[in-house]
Structure formats: C-alpha cells, structure tokens
Amino acid sequence: MAIRLQEKKQIVSEVSEAANNALSAVLADYRGVTVTDMTGLRKTARENNVYLRVVRNTLLKKAVAGTDFECIQEVLVGPTILAFSLEDPGAAARVLKDFSKENSQFEIRALSVGGKLLDASQIDVLAKLPTHDQALSILMSVMLAPVTKLARTLKEVPAKATRGVAAVRDQKQEAA
C-alpha cells in the first residue's frame, strides 16, 4: 500500500524527533517473526520506554540525517525495525536482546551510541549498562563506603582499649 506524501513527512518528523531525544539506537531484521511475537515485543518496548518502529529505509535515512544516529544509514538494508532508548541507554539493547533469545529468526544488525556505529556483537556491552536506579545505588554505595570504614575504625579504638583493660584484669585475677 502506497504511503501519501503527507504521511511520509509525518513519519520522518516523528522518527527524527525520537532520534533527537534518544540515547542509543538498535537496528534489527525482523523477517520471519510472527505478528503475535511482534505485538509482544512492542508491549515490552512500551513498558521499558523504548521507541520501537518499523520504517522504510528511505524514510529512516531522511529522519536520522543531521542527528547523532546518522551513522546507521550505511546498515539500512532490507526490512528494519528501529529501537531508540529514550531514558536508559541500555533499554533498547536489553529489550531486543531478550527478544532475540526467544526468536531465532530475529537478528540484531547494529547499534549506535554517541554518534558511533557499533557491530551487533557489542549488544551485550550496551545491554549490561546499569539502569538509572542501579547506577544511583552503585554511586551511593561507593560514596558511603569511606564513611562506613571511618565509623568502624573509630568504633574499634574504644573496643580495643576495653579489651586491653579486660585482659589486664583477667591476668591480675589469675595471679591472685
């Protein structure tokens, strides 16, 4: 079915806006995936705040022109599904990686972060990035560690003195 010019412009502007707000992008080939599985993928993507869209390659090239994701133009061949991570850089990678484990026909082609095109083999690196909440908890534990160590050290001084006094007391009681 042919898409009218006005609809094409709307698709390009929508994808371009998503690209301007995105932190990372993942491209995949979805040939052979059932409609039911694709519906499940879309639902998972929505839950993880991932922009997921099947777009014609010519429209996608126009949409990403002038954005950080312009580098993906060289891998736009065949049917492509595009996933943009909007809040968490690893969200799209996690969603598509998990989906590809369940669907052998789904093939991740490439990913892009910070204006650089990465090979599909790098998906694990991006997928293992901590979420915002996980990163905050790691940061807080790193910040809390020196304070905890100081508190333990300060607590140890009187405990050591008490043990020394108790040892002297025990010696005197044994001698008596």
Please give the chain's pLDDT, 176 residues, in tens. 677 888 888 888 888 888 888 888 889 888 888 889 889 989 988 898 888 888 888 888 888 888 888 888 888 888 889 888 888 888 888 888 889 888 888 888 888 888 788 877 777 777 777 777 777 888 888 888 888 888 888 888 888 888 888 888 988 888 87
CATH 3.30.70.1730 for domain 5-129, yes or no, is yes
pLDDT value of residue 74: 83
Residue 131 near residue 90, CB atoms below 8 Å: yes
User: b or e along 50-80 (b: 16 or more beta carbons within 10 Å of the residue's beta carbon)?
Assistant: bbbbebeeebbbbbbeebbbebbeebbeeeb
pLDDT value of residue 43: 93
Q: Which amino acid is at 107?
A: E
What pLDDT, in 10s, does the model give residues 91-123? 888 888 889 888 888 888 888 888 788 877 777
Cα distance between residue 53 and residue 74, in whole Å:
18
Q: What are phi and psi of 151, to 5 degrees?
A: -60, -40
Cα distance between residue 54 and residue 7, in whole Å:
14
User: Exposed (0-12), middle (13-18) or buried (19+): which is 25, by Cβ within 10 Å?
Assistant: buried
What are the domain boundaries of the chain?
5-129, 130-176
pLDDT value of residue 1: 60
pLDDT value of residue 117: 82
